[in-house]
C-alpha cells in the first residue's frame, strides 16, 4: 500500500502535465512512499508522453468523463492518503504536505482545496464560473447545513476510508458536488484548506462548459437532496399541491356552494380531489423513503468498520512481505 498516492485525471493537458508532475515531486521530496498516477481519458494530444517523461505512472480510462476516471482511480489504487488535483497547473502543489497532514494525523476524511477564499475571483477570467461557484456553494451549504467553502474545486485530499466507501455515480464534472454531499450526509470529517489559485496558462483550454455542466451540477444537487432527505423533499411537494388545490377549491367550489347550495364547477372539484390524493401519496412516500434512508445509514456504519478491518489486514500483509 502506498503512503501517498497523487491522482491526476487528464484530458488533453499536454501543455501543463509535465510541470504539474514535476511540481508534485518537488513538493513531496521529503515524504516517503509517494507515487504519482496520471489517468489519461482519451487525450488526443501529447499528454501521455509528457506525463511519462516527467516520471508519472500513466494509466488509461476509456469511458469519457471525469467521474469515470475517478471511479477507476479509486478502485485501482490503495494508499494511506490520496491527493487529487487537475493536470492544468492551476493548483499549487506546495499545499500537498499540509493536506496530507490533515488526513494522516487528524483523521480527516476529505480535505477541500479552497480557492474561493483566496485568489480565485481575481485569477479566473470567466465571470459566469464565479457566479456558478458561489451559487452552488450557497445552495449546498443551505440545503445540507454544511460549511464547505469550495464545492467545485478539483484539489482534494482523501483518506483510505473515504475512497473505498464512496460510490462514484456521477460520470462528468458533477463528481465534486456528489463527493461533497456524500461526505456531509454520511458524517465524514471534512476540512477546508485555503489555497492560491492561478488561471490556466496561455494555450490551455478548460473542458468545462459553463452552461451545460453548470445545469448538470444544479440538477445533481437537487437529485441528491431528494435522495438524502426524502421526507423534507416530498413533504414540500405535498404541501405545494395542497396549497394549489386550496387556491382553486375555495373560490371556485366552496364559496359558490355556500351561497347557492350547488357545486357549480365539478371539473375543478375533481381536479382538486386528485391533487389532494397525490399530495397524500407523496407524503406517504416521503415517510417510507426516510425509513429506508435511516436503514442505509446504519448499514453504512457497518461498511466503514469492514473497510477499516480490510485496511489493517492489507497493512499486516505488506509488513510481512
Query: Could you tell me the pLDDT band of residue 184, with boundaries at 50, 70 and 90?
Result: very high
What is the structure's pLDDT at 202?
A: 76
| Average pLDDT across the chain, whole number | 91
Query: Could you tell me the pLDDT band of residue 317, with boundaries at 50, 70 and 90?
Result: low
Query: Could you tell me the pLDDT band of residue 43, with boundaries at 50, 70 and 90?
Result: very high
Three cell numbers at 46? 501529447
Full-model pTM = 0.88
Task: Identify the residue with better confidence: 1 or 251.
Answer: 251
Say if residue 295's pLDDT is above 80.
yes
Note every long-range contact of 292-298, with CB atoms under 8 Å and residues 24 or more positions apart, other chains counting: 292/230, 293/227, 293/228, 293/230, 297/186
Q: What beta strand segments (E) does 41-179 contain?
A: 57-60, 79-84, 110-114, 156-159
What is the structure's pLDDT at 127?
A: 66
Homologous superfamily, domain 2-228: Spore Coat Polysaccharide Biosynthesis Protein SpsA; Chain A (3.90.550.10)
Mind listing the pLDDT tens digit for each residue in 14-32? 999 999 999 999 999 999 9
87, 9 Cβ separation under 8 angstroms: yes
Mind listing the pLDDT tens digit for each residue in 52-68? 999 999 999 999 999 99
Say if residue 273's pLDDT is above 70.
yes
Maximum distance among all alpha carbons in the chain? 91
Domain positions in the chain are 2-228, 230-320
What is the structure's pLDDT at 269?
A: 93
98, 194 Cβ separation under 8 angstroms: no
| Vertex 245 angle, CA 240 and 248, to 5° | 130
Percent of the chain at pLDDT exceeding 70:
97
Other beta carbons within 10 angstroms of residue 131's beta carbon come to 12
What is the structure's pLDDT at 319?
A: 64
Mind listing the pLDDT tens digit for each residue in 87-105? 999 999 999 999 999 999 9
What is the structure's pLDDT at 311?
A: 77
Q: In what order do the strands lie in the sheet with 79-84?
A: 57-60, 34-40, 2-10, 79-84, 156-159, 110-114, 190-194
Q: Is the dihedral of CA 52, 53, 54, 55 positive or negative?
A: positive
Closest by CA position to 113, among listed 39, 211, 198, 12: 198
What is the structure's pLDDT at 261?
A: 84
Amino acid at each position: 500500500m502506498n503512503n501517498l498516492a497523487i491522482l491526476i485525471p487528464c484530458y488533453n493537458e499536454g501543455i501543463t502535465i509535465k510541470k504539474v508532475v514535476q511540481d508534485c515531486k518537488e513538493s513531496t521530496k521529503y515524504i516517503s512512499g509517494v507515487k504519482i498516477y496520471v489517468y489519461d481519458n482519451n487525450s488526443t494530444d501529447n499528454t501521455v508522453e509528457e506525463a511519462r517523461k516527467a516520471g508519472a505512472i500513466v494509466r488509461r480510462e476509456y469511458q469519457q468523463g471525469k467521474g469515470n476516471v475517478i471511479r477507476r482511480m479509486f478502485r485501482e489504487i490503495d494508499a494511506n492518503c490520496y491527493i487529487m488535483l487537475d493536470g492544468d497547473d492551476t493548483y499549487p502543489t506546495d499545499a500537498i504536505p499540509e493536506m496530507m497532514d490533515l488526513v494522516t494525523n487528524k483523521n480527516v476524511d476529505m480535505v477541500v482545496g479552497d480557492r474561493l477564499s483566496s485568489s480565485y475571483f481575481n485569477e479566473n477570467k470567466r465571470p459566469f464560473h464565479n457566479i456558478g461557484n458561489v451559487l452552488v456553494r450557497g445552495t449546498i451549504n443551505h440545503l445540507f447545513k454544511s460549511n464547505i467553502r469550495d464545492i467545485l474545486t478539483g484539489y482534494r485530499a482523501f483518506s483510505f476510508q473515504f475512497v473505498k466507501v464512496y460510490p462514484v455515480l456521477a460520470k462528468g464534472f458533477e463528481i465534486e458536488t456528489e463527493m461533497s454531499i456524500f461526505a456531509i450526509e454520511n458524517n465524514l470529517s471534512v476540512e477546508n484548506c485555503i489555497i492560491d489559485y492561478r488561471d490556466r496558462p496561455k494555450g490551455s483550454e478548460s473542458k468545462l462548459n459553463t452552461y451545460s455542466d453548470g445545469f448538470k451540477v444544479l440538477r445533481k444537487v437537487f437529485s441528491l437532496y431528494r435522495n438524502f432527505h426524502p421526507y423534507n423533499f416530498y413533504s414540500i411537494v405535498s404541501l405545494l399541491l395542497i396549497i394549489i388545490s386550496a387556491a382553486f377549491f375555495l373560490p371556485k367550489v366552496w364559496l359558490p356552494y355556500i351561497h347557492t347550495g350547488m357545486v357549480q364547477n365539478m371539473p375543478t372539484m375533481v381536479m382538486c380531489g386528485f391533487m389532494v390524493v397525490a399530495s397524500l401519496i407523496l407524503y406517504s412516500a416521503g415517510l417510507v423513503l426516510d425509513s429506508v434512508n435511516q436503514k442505509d445509514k446504519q448499514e453504512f456504519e457497518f461498511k466503514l468498520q469492514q473497510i477499516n478491518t480490510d485496511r489493517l489486514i492489507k497493512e499486516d500483509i505488506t509488513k510481512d512481505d
